Amino acid sequence: MNRIRRAISDQLPQLKNIYHALEVPLKNQQLQNARLPTLEWTVPAAVAQQEQELLDSLRSHTFDATYIEKVRLVPSAGRSAAKVEFQLQPQAFVEQLLRKRQPEALPLSPADEHVVVEYSSPNIAKPFHVGHLRSTIIGNVLANLHQHLGYRTTRLNYLGDWGTQFGLLALGVQLNNVSDKDMQRAPIETLYRSYVAANRAAEENPEIAQRARDLFTALEAGTDDAMAQQWQQYRKYTIEELSGVYNRLGVHFDSYEWESEYSQQQISDVLQKLRSAGILQRELDGREIVVVDDRRIPVIKSDGSTLYLARDIAALLERHSRLQFSRILYVVDNGQADHFNALFKTTAALNKRLSLEQLQHVKFGRIHGMSTRQGKAIFLRDVLDEARDVMREKRNQTPTTRANSSLDDEDVCDSLGVSAVLVNVLKQRRQRDHEFSWQQALQVNGDTGIKLQYTHCRLHSLLENFKDVELEDTVPDWQHYSREPVDALDLLYELARFEQCIWQSKEQLEACVLVNYLFGLCNATSRALKRLPVKLESCPLKQSQRLLLFQAAKRTLQKGMQLLGLRPLDQM
């Protein structure tokens, strides 16, 4: 479909993003168009004032007749916006959609735009728990979408490893006599236990609390080389363990960055600039604050120590200087809205090269009820293990599961379990709080990750059974599909919607747009598999045309699943 979109957008360079804004009409609209392939562009509200002038100018355009049969202009009426319908050349449409190895015209590339996405960002003093799941997988999908659309994309994981609590953590390691081998085996769990032990001891003994503060002061000042070296080692082990969970979730990063990388000197320089600009103001009690939306927000405590906002301002300014981003997305829960409002407005006031339009807090709600069946939910790893174990039980109990020595059962069950968890979370609107349900997540028939995997496996099995049918040189035939049961055209039009759903998902920063598209694709595929049998069809021409359709369905489903971070299975 890229060539067809280009044939339209190249003629209309004055219409920004029309390449992506072209949409396949809904089913009732297709019926009005005699089910002929159509792309339509709805005139956005921003240019509605020039509607007549715009429509008049379109009348003078000549579009490539290879792809466009005719253009119909529909003026606005009541609440319905004006739109332009491009009726496509049917044979060109079906060839663009179904031919596998045709040279693809690249979409209009926004490669000069650099988008930075910061997501996951756990704190090494606390468990990597289910609360981090939404940030991790939503951020990963948003980065995938931008990259797929041609944006230069940088994925950041900004890990918390600084502050007074890390003195407690370092002390806890000493109190528990943690060996390097213990730390290497399970760093996140070991650090968490150490922190809990030291925190408990500090509550009972003020001297221990003071020792923790002294340890962090030495670490911050760089006066304890052994401690600093040990800290580097803890960070290394932490990333190694986190990488195991990230790999299971289909998540990766371009850069791991740490709070501690922003030195006191860098922060002091930023504070001085804020004072010079009159943004940082001193209160009577000695605190220094910034005023944002009539709220007085502390940046420096009365004892002179800095708060989290100061470090985040320094980090944002340094990233803008180093990465030269067009836009940065922070994927962090709803509860941090005030913090990011203060961060963005204060930083933009200080650096005039940064505008608020470049800075975005991608908010999301909480997940409730995500725990193992024993009610434990400290570590995300435990939830993923539970999902894998439940899938293993379900497969063993299903009478249709066949023994297959070529399959790695553990790997398959893990992929199914992860798919179930991810899709159950991603299918929700991100700002809503979400009640997790194992029963819903693990259904095969409902809208679940298992359904996506099952449909992909069905398509793979069908194509494998007919791998001797030569499809490479088979030309898709519009006349054939137009004479087939209506399910053939339904699936064709569903496939044609893929790129517009990618764009809409990116524009709304909502993974659920893509997830719901994939559910619709699976439903259309399932109906087509039932109504357009291949094995029972005696006509070789019909067989090959149907296989072309199902091959494209598998290709599209596979790409969509990969954008969600899923690993599509061929067998389950």
For the stretch 86-129, pLDDT in tens is 999 999 999 999 987 655 555 555 668 999 999 999 987 677 87
Q: What is the pLDDT of residues 368-378, one digit of tens each?
A: 876 654 555 56
Find the helix packing angle between 337-350 and 308-323, rounded to 10°.
60
pLDDT above 70 as % of the chain: 95
Helix H or strand E segment including 156: strand 152-159
Q: Is the pLDDT of residue 321 over 80?
A: yes
The lowest-confidence range among 136-140, 345-349, 369-373 is 369-373
Across 411-431, average pLDDT: 94
Residue 116 has which token pair?
A: 């930075």
Q: Which amino acid is at 307?
A: L
Best CATH choice for the domain 262-377 from the list 3.40.190.80, 1.10.510.10, 3.40.50.620, 3.40.50.1370 = 3.40.50.620
Residue 292 has which token pair?
A: 């944002």
Q: What band does 406 get if pLDDT is binned at 50, 70 and 90?
A: low
Q: What is the pLDDT of residues 437-451, one digit of tens each?
A: 777 777 767 899 999
pLDDT of residue 108: 54
pLDDT of residue 408: 83
Q: CA 140, CA 412: separation in Å to the nearest integer?
A: 22
pLDDT of residue 540: 93
**Strand (E) positions, 357-492?**
359-362, 367-368, 434-435
Report how far apart, in Å, the C-alpha atoms of 530 and of each of 435, 520, 526, 542, 546 are: 34, 16, 6, 15, 12
Q: What band does 403 get if pLDDT is binned at 50, 70 and 90?
A: low
Please write down the HEC assignment for all residues of 293-360. Answer: CCEEEEEECCCCCECHHHHHHHHHHHHHHHHCCCEEEEECCHHHHHHHHHHHHHHHHHCCCCCHHHEE
Q: What is the pLDDT of residues 214-251, one digit of tens each?
A: 888 787 777 888 888 888 888 888 888 899 999 999 99
On whether the CB atoms of residues 113 and 149 are closer than 8 A, the answer is no
Angle at the Cα of 341 (from 339 to 342), degrees rounded to 5?
Answer: 65
Burial 360-387 (b: 16+ CB within 10 A, else e): bbbbbbebeebbbeeeebbbbbbbbebb
pTM for this predicted structure: 0.92
pLDDT of residue 572: 87
Angle at the Cα of 136 (from 135 to 140), degrees rounded to 5?
Answer: 110
Instruction: Provide CB contacts within 8 A for 142, sequence distance 6+.
Output: 117, 119, 329, 331, 362, 506, 509, 511
* Residues 380-564, CATH architecture: Orthogonal Bundle (1.10)
pLDDT of residue 17: 82
Bigger pLDDT: 437 vs 284:
284
Closest by CA to 509, choosing from 149, 2, 242, is 149
Q: CA 396, CA 194: separation in Å to the nearest integer?
A: 40
Q: CA 417, CA 250: separation in Å to the nearest integer?
A: 13
